């Protein structure tokens, strides 16, 4: 219907904009979390490989310097894994927070869209009733006019 104007359209536009911004921030946070998970997986793979090298060196009778070097490397990897785990947890927390924010923004937009739809339907029904009333008045006028003309005396 061309005459319908939603009074809260600017608010709805603002909510759509906020939802898009929230979706963008959520996507960026999810990307950071994937990167943190990937870095953690790589560090765990390197640690497993280094631990295997240490075990082999120990079983093969490697030198004391070689064993100390591999233990030092394992210690450094454990520290980096702890840091990477903390970073992943922070990223996961951010994703959860931004997901709640996005869900809230989505709900706010949907509420306004539902309100707009209800108002549109009410406006359309009102226009339809108004049109029906005009058509009824025209039909009544057409129907009663010939009868009134017949009942009036000529002259």
Three-state SS for 17?
A: helix
Q: Where are the domains of the chain?
A: 9-123
Q: How far apart are CA 99 and CA 92, in angstroms?
A: 10
Tokens 């006028």, located at residue: 141
What's the CA gap between 32 and 50, in Å, rounded? 27
pLDDT for the residue numbered 31: 97
pLDDT in 10s for each residue of the chain, 155 residues = 458 899 999 999 999 999 999 999 999 999 999 999 999 999 999 999 988 888 887 777 778 888 888 889 999 999 999 999 999 999 999 999 999 999 999 999 999 999 999 999 999 999 899 899 999 888 888 877 766 666 666 64
CA-CA distance, 72 to 70, in Å (whole number)?
Answer: 5
CA dihedral 96, 97, 102, 105 (to 10 degrees): 150
CATH of domain 9-123: 1.10.287.1700
pTM value? Answer: 0.70
Distance CA 66, CA 56 (A): 11
Q: What is the pLDDT of residue 141?
A: 82
Classify 146 as helix, strand or coil. helix
Among 108, 124, 107, residue whose Cα is nearest residue 5: 124
């Amino acid at each position: 219907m061309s005459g319908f104007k939603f009074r809260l359209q600017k608010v709805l536009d603002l909510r759509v904009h906020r939802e898009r911004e929230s979706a963008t921030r959520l996507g960026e946070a999810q990307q950071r979390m994937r990167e943190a998970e990937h870095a953690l997986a790589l560090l765990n793979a390197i640690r497993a490989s280094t631990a295997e090298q240490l075990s082999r060196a120990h079983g093969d009778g490697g030198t004391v310097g070689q064993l100390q070097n591999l233990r030092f490397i394992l210690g450094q990897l454990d520290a980096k894994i702890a840091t990477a785990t903390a970073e992943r947890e922070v990223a996961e927390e951010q994703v959860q927070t931004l997901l709640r924010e996005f869900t809230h923004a989505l709900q706010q937009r949907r509420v306004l869209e539902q309100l707009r739809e209800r108002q549109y339907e009410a406006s359309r029904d009102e226009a339809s009733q108004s049109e029906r009333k005009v058509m009824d008045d025209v039909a009544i006028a057409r129907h009663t006019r010939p009868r009134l003309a017949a009942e009036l005396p000529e002259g």
